[in-house]
Chains A and B, each alone.
Chain A
Amino acid sequence: MSAVALEIRDLSIWYAGAAPAVLNIDLAVQRGEILGIIGESGSGKTSLAHAVLGLLPASATMRGARLALAGTELIGASPAALRAMRGPGAAMIFQNPGAAFSPLHTIGEHFAAFLWRDRRMSGHDRRARIVAALHDVGIADPAARLSAHPFQLSGGMLQRVAIAAALLMRPALLIADEPTTALDVTMEAQILHLLRGIRENAGVAILLISHQLGVIAEICDRVAVMYAGRIVEEGPVAAIFARPRHPYTQALFACEPSLIKAGALRLPVIAGVVPRPGGAGCGFASRCVHADAQCRAVPPPWQADADHRYCCHRIAA
Chain B
Amino acid sequence: MTQLVPVLATNGLCVDVPARKNRMILADISLALHGGEILGMVGESGSGKTTFGQAVMGLVRPSAGTITLDGQALAGSSAKEFRPLRRAAALLFQDPAASFNPRLRIGAIVGEPRRIAGIGRVTTAELATLVERAGLSASVLRKFPHALSGGQARRAAVARALAVVPRLIIADEPTAGLDVSVQGGILNLFLDIREQGTALLLISHNLAVIRHVSDRLAILYLGRLVEIGPTDAIFRAPRHPYTRALLDAEPEADPARRRTEPPLMGEVPSIFARPTGCEFHARCRFVRPRCRDEAPGVTGIGERHSVRCHFPLGGG
Direct touching of A and B (C-beta under 8 Å) = yes
| Interface contact A260-B251, CB-CB below 8 Å | no
| Interface contact B246-A186, CB-CB below 8 Å | yes
Q: A155-B45, A184-B45 are in contact. Are A214 and B249 (CB under 8 A)?
A: no
Q: Which residue of the partner chain, among A241, A257, A268, contacts B209 with CB atoms under 8 Å?
A: A257
| Interface contact B250-A185, CB-CB below 8 Å | yes
CB of A237 within 8 A of chain B? yes
| Interface contact B253-A192, CB-CB below 8 Å | no
| Interface contact B211-A262, CB-CB below 8 Å | yes
Write the nearest CB–CB distance from A45 to chain B, whole angstroms. 12
> Bound state CA distance, A187 and B45, in angstroms?
10
Q: Which residue of the partner chain, among A213, A214, A238, contacts B250 with CB atoms under 8 Å?
A: A214
- Scoring A residues 236 to 251 as 1 if CB is less than 8 Å from chain B, else 0, what string do you get? 0110010000000001
Q: A41-B179, A257-B209 are in contact. Are A187 and B256 (CB under 8 A)?
A: no
| Interface contact A189-B263, CB-CB below 8 Å | yes
CB of A193 within 8 A of chain B? yes
| Interface contact A258-B45, CB-CB below 8 Å | no
- Scoring A residues 145 to 189 as 1 if CB is less than 8 Å from chain B, else 0, what string do you get? 000000000111100000000000000000000000000111111
> Bound state CA distance, A85 and B252, in angstroms?
35
The SS class assigned to the A binding surface is helix
CB of B313 within 8 A of chain A? no
> Bound state CA distance, A108 and B250, in angstroms?
33
> Bound state CA distance, A211 and B150, in angstroms?
16
From B43, which residue of chain A is reached at the shortest CB distance? A184
Q: A185-B207, A189-B263, A238-B256 are in contact. Are A258 and B250 (CB under 8 A)?
A: yes
| Interface contact A238-B255, CB-CB below 8 Å | yes
Stretch at the interface among B77-85, B153-161, B183-191, B287-295: B183-191
| Interface contact B259-A218, CB-CB below 8 Å | yes
> Bound state CA distance, A40 and B258, in angstroms?
23
From B232, which residue of chain A is reached at the shortest CB distance? A262
| Residue numbers in B under 8 Å from A289 (CB-CB) | none
| Interface contact A266-B191, CB-CB below 8 Å | yes
| Residue numbers in A under 8 Å from B208 (CB-CB) | 214, 257-258
- Scoring A residues 196 to 240 as 1 if CB is less than 8 Å from chain B, else 0, what string do you get? 000000000000000111111111100000000000000001100
| Interface contact B250-A40, CB-CB below 8 Å | no
| Interface contact A218-B251, CB-CB below 8 Å | yes
CB of A264 within 8 A of chain B? yes
| Residue numbers in A under 8 Å from B45 (CB-CB) | 155, 184
Q: Which residue of the partner chain, among A185, A187, A192, A268, contacts B267 with CB atoms under 8 Å?
A: A187
CB of B32 within 8 A of chain A? no
CB of A13 within 8 A of chain B? no
> Bound state CA distance, A264 and B213, in angstroms?
9
CB of B274 within 8 A of chain A? no
6 nearest CB pairs, A to B: A214-B251, A267-B184, A184-B44, A257-B208, A270-B181, A213-B253
Jot down 26 A-B pairs with beta carbons below 8 A, ordered by A.
A184-B268, A185-B249, A188-B251, A189-B249, A189-B251, A189-B264, A190-B264, A214-B208, A214-B250, A214-B252, A217-B251, A217-B255, A218-B259, A219-B258, A238-B256, A241-B253, A252-B180, A255-B181, A255-B183, A257-B206, A257-B209, A262-B212, A267-B187, A268-B184, A269-B183, A269-B188
Chain B residues within CB distance 8 Å of chain A: 44-45, 179-185, 187-188, 191, 205-209, 211-213, 232, 235, 245-246, 249-256, 258-259, 261-265, 267-268
Since A186-B262, A214-B252, A216-B253 are in contact, a sample of 11 more A-B pairs with Cβ atoms closer than 8 Å, ordered by chain A residue number, is A185-B205, A189-B259, A190-B262, A192-B262, A212-B180, A212-B251, A217-B251, A258-B208, A258-B252, A259-B253, A269-B181
